[in-house]
Amino acid sequence: MNFEIEIFDDRLVPVVQGATCTRLCTGATWSEGPVWIWQDDSVLWSDIPNNRMLRWSKADGMTVWRESVEFVNGHTLDNNGDLLHCSHGMRAIVRTPLVGGLLLASTADDMVVNSYQNKRFNSPNDLVVKRDGTIWFTDPPYGILSNHEGHKAPSEQDANHVFCFDPKTKSISAVSDWLEEPNGLAFSPDERLLYVSDTSAALAQPGSGNHHIVVFDVLADNQIENPRIFAEIQPGLSDGFRIDTQGWVYTSSEDSVQIYHADGVLLGKIHLPEKVGNLCFGGQDGNQLFVTASTSLYHIEFRYRHLFNVIHRARRPA
């Protein structure tokens, strides 16, 4: 397996020194939206064209967790440990509740939100949960452009928005239409910044469209302002990314996991043998990275502990 760490800035050396990489499994068509499940130390992710969710654990290897999942894409854990999904097929955010402290494939999903101003979403793509419980997600058109990763349909929205939904009040806000096709998103550790990728270059003519990450200032009332380009991702684009405890951005790209300092400098690349789609942090010690790359799931383990904030605020037992 081709695994190489390319370092451009010495600040990266202590973090990646001694890191190891393993391909855990393969067999998907396009792997997306990984989420680490702390209760059983497993990873769930989407194989979108095959309309299924996969699961990997050390004990069981790769198994099919669910079939006929309505083309779910991104996933994240809610603050209480429930599993949230972006559903292309349902054009909605849905929830798998914890039952007896476990996330079970047999548990029926609940609808969270599926419209804005009485108009259906395009195809929610990725999502994150803020400390206050609000759910932030992107809504590009990828799931309604064809039947390959959703159901072909016309858009009902006037733009491709970034949304903020408050489950307590059931209110939803379109916080930005500044990006052409918003995709991955994540908050800085202090939640004062929101990073969102724009991947409009994915379906555009060669040489056109966007392949950058934009950063916004987050206001006290959960509005965002002052968008500016944080980094241009090349080759490829930033389909999904996460931010570590020191504010560094780990993003997908065509050739690698690219790591950016909070100041926007590209620190280095972790090269993998397949095109990278998305990634998530995991491990009981907060030092593991799970990467969905085309057909496979990869595992990168770092020497540093507590590098990644993977301990959910309301779910870990004392």
Which of 313, 316, 265, 274 lies closest to 292, judged by CA? 274
Residue 315 falls within a domain, yes or no? no
Residue 313 falls within a domain, yes or no? no
Q: How far is CA 145 from the centre of its chain?
A: 21
Is 15 within 8 Å of 5 (Cβ atoms)?
Answer: no
Measure the CA–CA gap between 232 and 285, rounded to whole angstroms: 31
Residue 312 falls within a domain, yes or no? no
The residue with tokens 């996969």 is: 54
Dihedral, CA atoms, 148, 151, 157, 163, nearest 10 degrees? -70
The residues pairing with 77 across neighbouring beta strands, listed in sequence order, are 83
The residue with tokens 């392949």 is: 211
pLDDT at residue 1, rounded to an integer: 63
Alpha helix (H) ranges present in the chain? 13-16
* Measured distance between the N- and C-terminal CA atoms of the chain, rounded to whole angstroms: 40
Cα distances (Å, whole numbers) of residue 256 to 25, 46, 53, 114, 274:
18, 20, 23, 34, 8
Residue 49 falls within a domain, yes or no? yes
User: Residue ranges of the chain with pLDDT lower than 70?
Assistant: 1, 310-318
Residue 79 falls within a domain, yes or no? yes
pLDDT at residue 127, rounded to an integer: 98
Residue 318 falls within a domain, yes or no? no
The total number of structural domains that make up the chain: 1
Residue 314 falls within a domain, yes or no? no
Q: How far is CA 301 from the centre of its chain?
A: 19
CATH number of 238's domain: 2.120.10.30
Residue 133 falls within a domain, yes or no? yes
Q: Domain limits at 201? A: 4-301
